[in-house]
Copies of this chain bind each other. A is one copy, B any other.
Amino acid sequence: MFFASDNTSGVHPKILEALSQANDGFAPAYGADSYTSALQERLRDIFDAPDARIYPMTSGTGANAALLAAMTPPWGVIYCHKTAHIEMDERGAAGFYAGGAKLKALPSKDSRIDPNALRAEIMADANGNDIHAMPPAAVSLTNITEFGELYSPVQIAELANVSGLPLHFDGARFANAIAASKISPWEMTRELSTLSLGATKTGAMAAEAAVLFDPALVEAFESQRMRGGHNLSKARFVSAQILAWLENDLWLELATHANAMAARLAAGLVDLGGSLSYSVDGNMVFATLPRAMHARAKAKGAIYHLWGTDTALIGDPETPQMARFVASWSTTPAHVDALLAAFEP
């Protein structure tokens, strides 16, 4: 009953096998190998972006930080949602890489950036182009969001229009977003300057592709990636993972499955009397259940995160408490059903 994170899942067998196949004698280091070239061609094709530059990496945090640092001067503002991974979970990586740039974290009624709030903040910050203020530099979106919600292309275009700023996508669960939306990767990304395309959470071992749609960012990004320690020597083994992940749309198959497992879980939780805190668009479920039900499931070995401050589950057993449940490519219907059963008396 592992629902703590998609990070706790293992590696899909086809991706493991690709590592063996890539282990074919000597190959040039630092991305000059044929796997990395092939990956670049493959992703250019998928995104219909013939000038895009692709860099294999092993860390989503590293990819986000190096990309954002290429998109802002050290005195710029990067707008994101209050719940963004770059704001909450990367110990200040973006501000560190970008030499002191500011993340401005916007609240909203859900987990997506509100266009009106974004417009208002940017107008206030840009006011008069005053040397005392930090000027607007970029916007970072997460799709699906950290609370499992999807941005549509229309919503993305609106944020691009409203802001007038280059967009970065944290795509740690990009596959889940594409699987959920059933649109093409191109349609999802046509407004973007950069994308962190994460394969790790969806079946790879440690593999992210940093995608630069804007070639003007190459020198800054490559420099930040290098001095961040993210230009790996045996890069072929990262690229090979992503190639296998893309082959025959394995990535979408795995994401579609994970999304379905989350939907099954969400339906079951509602049946049990739980309420959903956010829409379940991808592979994550945020649901509120009485403390007593959490206590029961935890006692039976269910592993997931209680969200917020009431992790001790002390007091009135009927008080509701929100929790996060994440399904992965390796979550089975049986896993889901076992978890649902654990909530029952």
Digitize A177-215: 1 where CB-to-B-CB distance is under 8 Å, 0 elsewhere: 000000000000000000000001100011000000000
Chain B residues contacting A90 (CB-CB under 8 Å) are 132, 226-227, 229
B133:A88 contact, CB within 8 angstroms: yes
A229:B93 contact, CB within 8 angstroms: yes
Asked if A47 CB lies within 8 Å of chain B CBs, one says: no
A102:B95 contact, CB within 8 angstroms: yes
User: Bound complex: CA of A73 vs CA of B64, how far in Å?
Assistant: 20
Secondary structure at the A interface, as helix, strand, loop or mixed, is: loop
A100:B58 contact, CB within 8 angstroms: no
Interface residues on A, range: 35 or more
Chain B residues contacting A222 (CB-CB under 8 Å) are 131
Chain B residues contacting A73 (CB-CB under 8 Å) are 220, 223
Asked if A279 CB lies within 8 Å of chain B CBs, one says: no
Q: Beyond the given A65-B229, A75-B226, could you list 17 further A-B residue pairs with CB under 8 A, ordered by the A residue number?
A: A5-B29, A5-B233, A7-B234, A8-B26, A10-B24, A16-B19, A19-B19, A61-B227, A66-B229, A73-B223, A74-B227, A75-B91, A91-B226, A124-B309, A131-B226, A201-B233, A206-B238
Asked if A152 CB lies within 8 Å of chain B CBs, one says: no
B23:A131 contact, CB within 8 angstroms: no
User: Bound complex: CA of A9 vs CA of B60, how far in Å?
Assistant: 26
A237:B92 contact, CB within 8 angstroms: no
Digitize A84-116: 1 where CB-to-B-CB distance is under 8 Å, 0 elsewhere: 000011111101101111110000000000000
Which one, B8, B23, B63, B92, contacts A11 given CB within 8 A?
A: B23
A61:B229 contact, CB within 8 angstroms: yes
Please report which residues of chain A, range 283-335, place their CB below 8 angstroms from some CB of chain B when the two chains form the complex. Answer: 309, 311, 330
Please report which residues of chain A, range 33-67, place their CB below 8 angstroms from some CB of chain B when the two chains form the complex. Answer: 58-66
